[in-house]
Chain A
Amino acid sequence: MVLTLERNSAEMTDASSSIAVPITQLKPGKRGIVAKLDGAPGLRQHLLEMGFTKGTAIEFIRQAPLGDPIDLRLRGYRLSLRRAEASAVLVFPTE
């Protein structure tokens, strides 16, 4: 049995800007959609596998009181990353 399934494009909410910025530049409470991933291949692969694919909606919840790490919500779960690595995620801010 062979399963062939269509890929649905992710629901895209309207982007308020078409310039991609590192997610670390968002203010707490803001959201964005993944545009692309920079950084070393190993880091990119890891981020991708954790769900940071193109078009995924990410919410920047907060940064830790000392500035690092940051707290994100994507695909229904919460992930915490250090700024140095999170800055590899470039997003289109949405609100």
Chain B
Amino acid sequence: MASCCSEIEEQAIPVDTRRFAVIGNPNSGKTTLFNALTGLKQKVGNYPGVTVERKEGAVRVPSTGQLISLIDLPGLYSLTPRSPDEVIARDVLLGRQKGEEKVEGIINVVDASNLERNLYLTTQLLELGLPLVVILTMNDIAEREGRKVNQKSLETALGVPVISINVRKNLGVKYVPDLIATLPSALANPRELHYDLPSLVQRETAELRDLILVDQPDKSSSQAYAEAISLLMAGEIAPEEARRYSSSLLKHVVQDKEVFDATGLDYTSVIVESRYGWIESISAAVIEKTGDNAIPGHKPATPTADRVDRVLLHRFWGYVIFFGLMALIFQAVFSWAQFPMNLIGGAMDSLASLLHHHMPAGPFRELLIQGVIGGVGTSLQFLPQILILFFFLGLLEDSGYLARAAFLMDKLMSKVGLHGKSFIPMLSSFACAIPGIMATRTIDDRKSRLVTILVAPLMSCPARLPVYSLMIGAFIPLRFRGLTMFCMYMVGTVLAFTMAWLFKKTLLRSAPPRFFIELPPYHLPSGRAIMQHMVERSWLFLQRAGTIILMVSVVLWWLSSYPKHPSLPPAQQLTHSYAGVLGKAIEPAIKPLGFDWKIGISLVTAFVAREVFVSSMGTIYAVGDNDASLRSSLKADPDFSPLKGICVMLYYVLAMQCLSTAAVVRRETNSWKWPIFQLVYMTALAWIVTFAVWQCGSALHLGQRAAPAVSAIVSHSTAVIGQLR
């Protein structure tokens, strides 16, 4: 997986390194190119205060040996600010993003098979007056469809260097750094693009540009012109933007708009249409009709993607294939992950016993074994599921199928105010909410993305299974077990959609998100790109989530182990530890749910991970980890009724009992507000629902301790028929 260029040592990038921004349409191959150039040595983070991801990498120029620094900007169709992505991109390019050094030039990735729309962004970039080079990709697809782009003609038409490469096959990528290095650090004569604009528009825009230059003289003329256009095109100017300009200037903008209105001129249409007019003339000049398409009068063949979509988007077969794929992925993440997860679990156990043997007994050893290995082991266990899910997501996205999935599911999602793109993250959350939440990156609308993140953990994940298994195995007659399990899953799913609907109606109200999704041509997925993606996402998970999980696991270990009572058996030790005290302390809060302090302690300790509930209960009932004996103990406990068992399960369906999830939410939303809110609302939801069920159930004397004879029969047949797995 070495990048095409020599490996960059992990050293600080020297201060005088030249910096360039990489920008292009989504699906243009920009990210693949960026990864191919910079390899895995990338710095990934967030821009301050927003959820926009910041990616920076470096590449060495073969001919000079110099390092150049590349900033990967979000995939955009246009610089017109509609979302934080565009605002950040514009600000970075204009050199006004806080904390960012200026970029010297722009590397614009352009998809040849989709030339006109890609060139729209190019026109906006050219207007900025920065040195620019165009990297033309996917010309092979364009050629296949009979509309090859002539690279030399494009170079002449645009007036900037153009290189044609094939990122997927890694052809030509190695020439890119040298090409970038040839860019000057500033354009000597930044040209002004004069589209065929009405004179009124030209005049007013130029006037506004001059006003901006008066206020900010060190700005280049092109940049001021670009800003003038942006101000005049904007419906309302965002406050962050308005702050950059004097009030007299803003007043001038308002007056200009009134002038345009009075003459019946739609400024935006005029600008956009003239940009496209210019683009159309270029495309006529640079596109060569190839193959059959060159034959005069020949009607271009239906593109391959359209033909494939007749099946994949078929009203019946489309859905069959879709659900089949979803079932496959679900199954894969669910069961294929088992083996590696067991391996990791086994490795952790071996490591623990190794330490146990070789270290002197004492608190430090316990800290390492129970706190660190216990905590780290928990997060490591998610790794196989994350890797598998991201493998499949990578396949779906890279091949182009993901967009089709969103297309098929959008109607359903929109009923709750969500997005077609929310479907896959929510489905993935049945396997594990963590990769599901990470997968919400594909959702551009901030509020839809947040709602999806907030409800994702309500989809029952495998970590809840030990709890379901325990309670169902102890209290539910065999023939109702499958049904009960299914009901638990249903409760979670229904509430997820309900809460999504509720959030969309109240807190995170926004206009129904604009569903503009491009259905890209189908590609054979690139194994390399997918691997890189998998590794990157997993590494990010381990890094950030791992540190928080580790810290809190250590704290929880400490709470469960201290103060020490050496004379007491383990069950009592837990009961008398700080965790036990906490469990007893919260008892009043959970008593209305039918819970007692024993459950309370287990809830506290299980916050690290849901499965810990079972081991905690095992400790308290003094039966260790043995499933069967724990079930019998619960059944034998006169205070533990089937109704209580159901209530515990219900609480588990809905409550946020997963620290790792909170850590990932924190990272993905770049704030503490949302994970805390999620914790609060889910706990409240769990409490309310469990309360309702317990109180009503008790009042109706449902599921209480059956007569001794009946419960003897039940437990006997249960033991005979075997465990639920």
Which A positions have Cβ atoms within 8 angstroms of B?
1-8, 10, 37, 41-46, 48-51, 53-54, 56, 61-62, 64-69, 71, 73, 75-82, 84-85
Query: 8 new A-B pairs (CB below 8 Å) besides A77-B520, A80-B517, A85-B515?
Result: A5-B194, A41-B235, A45-B80, A48-B268, A49-B120, A53-B269, A65-B316, A85-B516
The answer, among A1, A41, A75, for a CB contact under 8 Å with B117, is A75
B281–A5 touching, CB < 8 Å:
yes
Per the bound structure, the CA–CA distance linking A12 and B344 in Å amounts to: 64
Residues of B that sit less than 8 Å from A by CB: 77-78, 80, 82, 113-117, 120, 145, 147, 159, 189, 191-196, 233, 235, 268-269, 272-274, 276-278, 280-281, 284, 305-306, 309, 313, 315-316, 318-319, 403, 406-408, 410-412, 414, 420, 512, 514-520
Distance A81 CA – B517 CA, assembled complex (angstroms)? 7
B615 to A: closest C-beta gap in Å = 46
CB <8 Å contact, B120 and A1: no
Chain B residues near A79 (CB, 8 Å)?
516-519
| Also in contact, A42 and B515, with CB within 8 A (given A7-B274, A7-B281) | no
6 A-B residue pairs with Cβ-Cβ distance under 8 Å, sorted by A, are A45-B272, A54-B273, A66-B411, A78-B305, A79-B519, A82-B414
Q: Which residues of B contact A68 (CB under 8 A)?
A: 410-411, 414
**Cα distance A49–B77 when bound, in Å?**
8
Which residues from B are CB-within-8-Å of A84?
Answer: 512
Q: Which residues of A contact B517 (CB under 8 A)?
A: 69, 79-80
Q: Is the interface of B mostly helix, strand, loop or mixed?
A: helix
Name A61's closest neighbour in chain B (CB-CB): B306
In the complex, what's the smallest C-beta–C-beta distance from B287 to chain A, in angstroms? 9
- How far apart sit A8 and B305, CA to CA, in the bound complex (Å)? 30
Report the separation of the CA atoms of residues A66 and B276 in the bound assembly, to the nearest whole angstrom. Answer: 34
B260 CB → nearest A CB, Å: 12
Q: Indicate if the CB atoms of B117 and A71 lie closer than 8 Å.
A: no
Name, among B114, B189, B195, B269, the residue most crowded by chain A CB atoms within 10 Å (CB to CB).
B269
- Given contacts A6-B281, A78-B519, A81-B516, whether A65 and B233 have CB atoms under 8 Å apart is no
Tell me which residues across on chain B come within 8 A of A2, comparing CB atoms. 191-192, 194
A31 → chain B, closest Cβ, in Å? Answer: 12
Minimum distance in angstroms from A88 CB to a CB of chain B: 11
Which residues of chain A are within 8 angstroms of B520 by Cβ–Cβ distance? 77-78
- Complex partner residue of B519 from A7, A42, A49, A80, CB under 8 angstroms: A80
State the CA gap A76–B274 with chains docked (Å).
Answer: 19
Checking A49, A65, A76 against B114 with a beta-carbon cut-off of 8 angstroms, the contacting residue is A76
Q: Which residue of B lies closest to A73 (CB)?
A: B306
Closest to B78 in A: A49
Whether the pair B280, A8 counts as a contact (CB closer than 8 A) is: yes
CB of B159 within 8 A of CB of A3, answer yes
Q: Inside 8 A of B120's CB, which chain A residues have their CB?
A: 49, 51
Q: Is B272 touching A64 in the complex (CB atoms < 8 A)?
A: no
Residue in B113, B278, B316, B512 with the greatest tally of chain A CB atoms within 10 Å:
B278
Contacts A2-B191, A3-B193 given; indicate if A49 touches B80 (C-beta within 8 A): yes
Contact, CB under 8 Å: A51 / B189 = no
A7 to B276 CA separation, bound complex (whole angstroms): 9
Q: Are A77 and B515 in contact (CB under 8 A)?
A: no
Say how far B479's CB is from chain A's closest CB, in angstroms. Answer: 37
Question: Which residues of chain A are near B306, meaning CB under 8 Å?
Answer: 61, 73, 78
Q: How far, in whole Å, are A48 and B281 apart by their CA atoms in the complex?
A: 18
Closest to B277 in A: A7
**CB <8 Å contact, A48 and B305:** no
Contacts of A4 in B (CB 8 A): 194
Once the chains bind, are B159 and A82 in contact (CB under 8 Å)? no
Given contacts A2-B192, A50-B117, A77-B117, contact A65 B408 (CB under 8 A): yes
Report Cα–Cα, A78/B194, bound state, in Å: 30
**Which of these, A7, A62, A65, contacts B278 with CB under 8 Å?**
A7
Query: B315 to chain A: which residues have CB within 8 Å?
Result: 65
Give Cα distance in the complex from A3 to B278, angstroms.
Answer: 11
In whole Å, how far is A40's beta carbon from the nearest beta carbon of chain B? 8
| B313→A62 contact, CB < 8 A | yes
Looking at the complex, which one of A45, A53, A64 makes contact with B411 (CB distance below 8 Å)? A64
